[in-house]
Structure 1
Amino acid sequence: MVSRTVFFVIILISECGRIFAYKRKFPNNFSFGAATASYQIEGGWNASDKSENIWDDLTHNTNLVVDKTNGDVACNSYNLYKRDVEMLTELGVDFYRFSLSWSRILPTGFSEKISDDGLKYYNAIIDNLLEANVTPIVTIYHWDLPKSLQDLGGWTNPLMADYFADFSNVVFEAFGDRVKTWLTFNEPLVFCQQGYGGMGKAPALNLTGVGEYLSAHTVLKAHAKVYHLYDENFRPAQKGRISMTISGQWYEPDTDSPEDLEAALVAEQFDVGWFGHPIFSKEGDYPNAMKERIMKRSEEQGYTKSRLPEFTAEEIEYIKGTYDFLGLNHYTTYSVKANGETNFVEPSFEHDRGVKVFQEATWPSSASSWLKVVPWGFTKMLKWIRSNYANPEVMVFENGFSDNGTTDDQDRINYHRLYLNAMLDAVDSGCNITAYTVWSLMDNMEWLRGYTELFGLYRVDFNDTERKRTPKSSAFYYRDVIKDRAVEHVKNKDDDDFDISLLL
């Protein structure tokens, strides 16, 4: 195969054991962006007729956030969105991925009351972006469910699929004449596993082994319902595209033993496969590894049927193929090995998965305990998607690095340099990747970590009532990458060129 990466400007610089040999060009059709989420940046939590969402409720009524902060003001993008657009033009991005606050648009959670001010706010953002020649990419749901709907069971309630379709219908009608790329959900695995199965995200129900599967089942049906709604009622006139963004971390087998290879396959299926297989695979439905393991554990624990709900044959067909591209968020890699334990008395996601997952002490760290810098895992993740899902178009919608908010953020620059190279390695191998998005445009409210872990290209002064934004070194670096459509080549010596076929 002839490489699709063009090389130029031979340089030869050694840094930290890596060799910068030349710059690598991105494909001609490649686009760059930056991302945010409504709760994390907007503030204005009770502005106009906006109602409470589950993150308002959690931050106001629990002590789960480590620094006892909230998103009541956050970056104040509710009032400062014009500055946000200005920052995007400074970077020179092709697109801006942002999300809609359901409770700002539908104060009751239902579509019988639509907020004029909510629509006005998002219309202003979209219009300002288009005037600045920045394409809006809109996430319909990024974790901030109206509290009124959570009181009815949230995503464990099957009727939520209908409520979500009603909300989506409103936003398609309001914004679809200008928005041409839609994402139904952001990382449903995270809010289902950590929010319903655990305590790591709102609504923090801690219903492990049951709650995550019930909520995920509804989310998958909701996604398919909205895909078909758009496909049938809006696509002919609006001519846009729609999909879901899934989270996908790489799981590296600890050894090349058959047991560890099997453990890595299981871990990947419980991660990417949980939402990827029903939508993007040829067969549809949940991965066999999930169905078999959860059924086995359920029987051992005395359940009369699997804790993983079953799709009907009609539902499998209805969900399968509901995508125009695959949205992927990737940050890091884990090592995985077989778990010799057999006595899983209590139901839980971890017991169902039944493997040992960890990270190597030698991998470089970030401000987030879970985020290690392992760029070669990104390449392998993208190759795995290519091999398992017939090489779909992949748009990377989140990739980023956390620190303490320093403006001279050389570690963030190095992270993006390494991961951009890893992504181009996947492109060179034949992966169909068309977009890359930095998380995040600016420092923001990092969920239960509050303002202790910061991902932004722009520093936000949260002690300043004006929430002053200041570009970091990484902002200038990313601007140059976008301007040149190229990145310095880095060969990471840790890449062992693992044979991906072993996990297929």
Structure 2
Amino acid sequence: MALTTFVGILALCQLGVAHYSKFPEGFTFGVATASHQIEGAWNVSGKSENVWDRLSHTRPEMIADGTNGDIACDSYNRYREDVEELSYLGVDFYRFSLSWSRLLPTGRVDHINPDGVRYYHDLLDALAEKNIEPLVTLFHWDLPQTLQDLGGWANPKMIDYFRDYSDLCFKEFGGKIKSWITFNEPYEICEDAYGDLKKAPAIDSHGVGCYLCSDTLLKAHAESYHLYNETYRPTQNGRIMISINSIWYEPSDPANVEQVTLAEVANQFKFGWFAHPIFTEQGGYPAVMIENVAQQSLAEGLPKSRLEQFDDYWTQRIKGTSDFLGINHYTTHLITGPGVDPLAKSPSWLKDIGAVTTMEVGGDSASEWLRVVPTGFANLLRWCKSSYNDPPIYITENGFSDLGTLEDYGRIKYFNDYLTEILNVIYEDGVKVLGYTAWTLMDNFEWRAGFSERFGFYHVDITDPARPRTPKLSVEYYRQLTATRELPQDDRFKDPAVRLCSPPPPMSNLLLKPSI
């Protein structure tokens, strides 16, 4: 994207002013979960071990509170209660993921687990009874350990394994599912799991494994898409997409040309890494990413770049393989200048960017990385419209963490302010946002944070074997939103200490009009 366009997007920032309150006709609302985070039943009914089972059992010190997903929210046994909660919320759709190791214990199609197949059919039937559409993710981070033992996403053979797994899911469940997501947050899969220790399987192959993973993952996504498009879409009449996550990067000083340029580089490295190969006319990785990694690799004495480019076949094969752009977004960080980020290893994806970042922006949440910056969300959406030829967009995750209070005014304000920005870009900028998915239905196993950070509409007491769910105040907020299709103005949703619609904290000088 041209630098002048990026600067123009920054100049459009507003302080979350609610110019609009009503959502367009046809706009849909949903809630999301993921199999490993809620199901439990980790080793019963034929399910095999996945990479998160292995990590939490063998390296429990890596989980903040020492918990694991063995029981989680016990949704394997309590899915009907989950569906009742969804029905009460009044959502149009429920985004959940299938557990690969529950369906295929070996990871391959040589053994299909009938109990796993039955479980998901039962869940789909329960949703149908309540007229709730399923939005189903094929892979949400819980790779069967048997496939990880073969190298996981760094192994090109995973392209075939994922295609076979997709084929089973389309064939078995496609009559009940009209909306599919291939991968959830490929950045987290590749950089945080194969380039760092932040996610399972925690392979710290920084600057190498992350790029091997992205090569395999994008090809696997494309094969799954083409399989559905050519074999199943003609009879099942569904749609299929990928869900890409991104922190949005902005310059700490928008009058600083170098920071503005580096912010665009960072966004290309984070979001463009997976969006550019699919959603642009050129295809392949972003040019600045190819150039930066090649230069760094040369400086490291390597004979070729650590980032291998796609050949012509794969460039064409990957292009256009998503019916919609799925976006997971939570927060914004700032670029403070050029150089090597203090957290960057050598070599690494972060060092390849060549910028220093900070999280000193916006309001707080219970997660260190999650700063509340609603205007950053609007800027990301404008940037996607400009960068990717005005695609239809689904927000497939967006949410707020706290420590578990039932009067969760912070979560309500977060939803209200971020939804306000969605309305602003729909009506003022013509961004084609078609639906919104809140994260998450209930407090669940938040990966390496365990249960120490709570994102749910429903509080889950993990000290009680029955895993009781208790609705928070945000349940009533979202229920009113889905019923009226309008931002709720009810006084009961306003924090007694802080008015709901007050502007967010100042963002340094982010909102100054650039001078270039």
User: Residue 51 of structure 1 aligns with which residue?
Assistant: 48
Q: Which amino acid aligns with 1:373?
A: V
**Cα deviations across residues 84-138 of structure 1 (Å, max 9, x unaligned)?**
0000000000000000000000011000111110000000011100110100010
Alpha-carbon separation, structure 2, partners of 1:458 and 1:501? 47
Alpha-carbon separation, structure 2, partners of 1:80 and 1:488? 30
**Cα deviations across residues 237-265 of structure 1 (Å, max 9, x unaligned)?**
00000010000221111222221111101
User: Residue 32 of structure 1 aligns with which residue?
Assistant: 29
In the TM superposition, what are the counterparts of 1:294-443 in structure 2 within 5 Å? 294-340=293-339, 346-360=346-360, 363-428=362-427, 429-443=429-443
Name the SS of the counterpart of 2:394 in structure 1.
strand
**Cα deviations across residues 128-179 of structure 1 (Å, max 9, x unaligned)?**
0011010001000000000000000000000101000000000001100010
Change (3 A) 1:444 1:500: farther
Gaps of 5+ in 1: 1-17
Q: Which amino acid aligns with 1:356?
A: V
User: Residue 133 of structure 2 aligns with which residue?
Assistant: 135
Q: Which amino acid aligns with 1:384?
A: W
Q: Does residue 1:472 correspond to 2:469, yes or no?
A: no
Alpha-carbon separation, structure 2, partners of 1:21 and 1:142? 34
Q: Which amino acid aligns with 1:406?
A: T
1:500 Cα deviation (Å)? 10
**Cα deviations across residues 214-252 of structure 1 (Å, max 9, x unaligned)?**
011100000000000000000000000001000022111
Name the SS of the counterpart of 2:62 in structure 1.
coil
Q: Does residue 1:178 correspond to 2:176, yes or no?
A: yes
Identity %: 49
Calculate the TM-score normalised by the size of structure 1: 0.93
1:285 Cα deviation (Å)? 0.3
Name the SS of the counterpart of 2:480 in structure 1.
helix
1:360 Cα deviation (Å)? 2.0
1:289 Cα deviation (Å)? 1.1
Contact 1:458 1:472 in 2 (8 A): yes
Change (3 A) 1:23 1:287: closer
Q: Which amino acid aligns with 2:31?
A: A
Calculate the TM-score normalised by the size of structure 2: 0.91
Contact 1:264 1:337 in 2 (8 A): no
The CA RMSD over aligned residues, in Å, is 2.0
Alpha-carbon separation, structure 1, partners of 2:289 and 2:318? 17
Alpha-carbon separation, structure 2, partners of 1:146 and 1:257? 47
Name the SS of the counterpart of 2:219 in structure 1.
helix
User: Residue 249 of structure 1 aligns with which residue?
Assistant: 247
Name the SS of the counterpart of 2:368 in structure 1.
coil
Contact 1:332 1:378 in 2 (8 A): yes
1:345 Cα deviation (Å)? 9.2
In the TM superposition, what are the counterparts of 1:14-25 in structure 2 within 5 Å? 24-25=21-22
Name the SS of the counterpart of 2:434 in structure 1.
strand
Alpha-carbon separation, structure 2, partners of 1:425 and 1:20? 9
User: Residue 9 of structure 2 aligns with which residue?
Assistant: none
Q: Which amino acid aligns with 1:473?
A: L
User: Residue 87 of structure 2 aligns with which residue?
Assistant: 89
1:492 Cα deviation (Å)? 3.6
Alpha-carbon separation, structure 2, partners of 1:176 and 1:19? 40
Contact 2:477 2:488 in 1 (8 A): no
Name the SS of the counterpart of 1:24 in structure 2.
coil
- Which of 218, 224, 227 is the matching residue for 1:226? 224
Q: Which amino acid aligns with 2:167?
A: N
Stretches of 4+ moved more than 3 A in 1?
18-23, 340-345, 488-502
Q: Does residue 1:238 correspond to 2:233, yes or no?
A: no
Q: Which amino acid aligns with 1:465?
A: P
User: Residue 15 of structure 1 aligns with which residue?
Assistant: none
Alpha-carbon separation, structure 1, partners of 2:104 and 2:178? 22
User: Residue 4 of structure 2 aligns with which residue?
Assistant: none
Q: Which amino acid aligns with 1:184?
A: T
1:350 Cα deviation (Å)? 1.4
Contact 1:280 1:320 in 2 (8 A): yes
Change (3 A) 1:408 1:342: closer
Name the SS of the counterpart of 1:245 in structure 2.
strand
**Cα deviations across residues 180-233 of structure 1 (Å, max 9, x unaligned)?**
000000001012111100000000011100011101110000000000000000
Contact 2:20 2:424 in 1 (8 A): no
Alpha-carbon separation, structure 2, partners of 1:340 and 1:19? 32
Alpha-carbon separation, structure 1, partners of 2:208 and 2:18? 51
Contact 1:301 1:345 in 2 (8 A): no
Q: Does residue 1:98 correspond to 2:110, yes or no?
A: no
Alpha-carbon separation, structure 2, partners of 1:501 and 1:397? 35
In the TM superposition, what are the counterparts of 1:139-178 in structure 2 within 5 Å? 139-178=137-176
1:346 Cα deviation (Å)? 2.7
Change (3 A) 1:156 1:404: same
Alpha-carbon separation, structure 1, partners of 2:271 and 2:480? 32
Name the SS of the counterpart of 1:143 in structure 2.
coil
**Cα deviations across residues 462-491 of structure 1 (Å, max 9, x unaligned)?**
111111111100011011111110115847
Change (3 A) 1:328 1:499: farther
Change (3 A) 1:21 1:194: closer
Alpha-carbon separation, structure 1, partners of 2:289 and 2:485? 41
Change (3 A) 1:19 1:395: closer
